[in-house]
Structure 1
Amino acid sequence: MTDAPLDPLAAQALADETAKAMWSRDHAAQALGIAIVRVQPGAALLTMPVRRDMVNGHHICHGGMIFSLADTAFAYACNSYNRNTVASACHIDFLAPAKEGELLEAEAVEQSAAGRTGVYDVTVRIAGGRTVALFRGKSYRISGEVIAGLQAADAK
């Protein structure tokens, strides 16, 4: 893969194909009921219903489940360029509870990408409502591609 900038349509096609490939192997996200709403170059929006098995002893969504949703949105955003990228650090602030039956959405947005590193902010909220958590992830690009050998032109 070259470092030349892609035209917007090719970049979106690459993000779509990369997300499909990741999803086919993402058994953790599938088990949690996470759904991809959209993936764009450097961004992603995912949802997850709060199920009974995700609620803790306080009758609210377990923080680890919220973290998993945020981390998954982060992963789809930072891998959207078809370059293998992993988390090097992350932090979450829990702001409000989520309850059984609510739908959570996590929106990840690239704040910075330079060299092998990136910074992504993820806002987790009740769908169409209050913010539940703020997550910041730092990414590190490792060798390889999500879809080996896929070029932007191939993604059309």
Structure 2
Amino acid sequence: MSKDKHRKLRNEDPIAFAREVVGGDPFAKLLGISIDEVRDSYARVSLTIQESYCNAEDRTHGAVLFALADQAFAVAANARGIKSFALEIKINYFQATVVGDCVSAEATPIDIRNRVSLWNVDLTNQNGDKVASAQGMAYHFV
């Protein structure tokens, strides 16, 4: 899709833009991240942990969970119809996940301002246990 089509879709249907364009980014596709739900200023994405996502201790590598959190953050921030990029994202890990676990990341806003916004991203496993929590700050091109 061309940049002009991206811009048109962002302006006419920001939810579709966030789901299809931001949610369909090549790295997210490579990992197999699914876009489960997108609304204005909200996204939930998920990923089933595969053996290739694990570290030497057979636990999910932190970079995979970070990527999942970052993807939810990106989709939610861009679901507002305003071009957004991450300024910062940090994550805290609480519980290990392993092969076969399905991890969901849910992004919600903490505070939205004109040029920047702050977001919370909670990662949970298939049992609803919180496995990590991230916080991201986005810059908005207004």
Report the TM-score range of the alignment, normalised by the length of the smaller protein. Answer: 0.7 to 0.9
**Compared CA separation, residues 18 and 70, structure 1 to 2 (3 A):** closer
Deviation at 1:82, TM superposition (A): 2.2
Deviation at 1:16, TM superposition (A): 2.7
What is the 5 A alignment of 1:132-143? 132-142=131-141
Matched residue type, 1:64 = A
Deviation at 1:84, TM superposition (A): 1.3
1:21 to 2:49 alignment: no
Q: Which has the higher contact order (CA 8 A, sep 6+)?
A: 1
In structure 2, the residue matched to 1:67 is 66
Deviation at 1:129, TM superposition (A): 2.1
RMSD: 1.6
Scaled by the length of structure 2, the TM-score of the pair is 0.87
Q: Residues of 2 paired with 1:36 and 1:129: CA distance? A: 18
Q: For structure 1, which runs of at least 5 residues remain unmatched after alignment?
A: 1-12, 144-156
In structure 1, the residue matched to 2:10 is none
Q: For structure 2, which runs of at least 5 residues remain unmatched after alignment?
A: 1-12
Residue correspondences, number:
131
User: SS where residue 99 of structure 1 aligns?
Assistant: coil
User: SS where residue 18 of structure 1 aligns?
Assistant: helix
Matched residue type, 2:58 = H
Q: Residues of 1 paired with 2:108 and 2:58: CA distance? A: 30
Scaled by the length of structure 1, the TM-score of the pair is 0.79
Q: Residues of 2 paired with 1:18 and 1:129: CA distance? A: 25
**Range moving further from structure 2, 127-136 or 55-64:** 127-136
What is the 5 A alignment of 1:76-155? 76-142=75-141
Task: Report sequence identity in percent.
Answer: 25
Matched residue type, 2:21 = A
**Is the Cα–Cα contact under 8 Å of residues 16 and 40 in structure 1 kept in the other structure?**
no
Decide which structure has the larger Cα Rg and report it.
Answer: 1
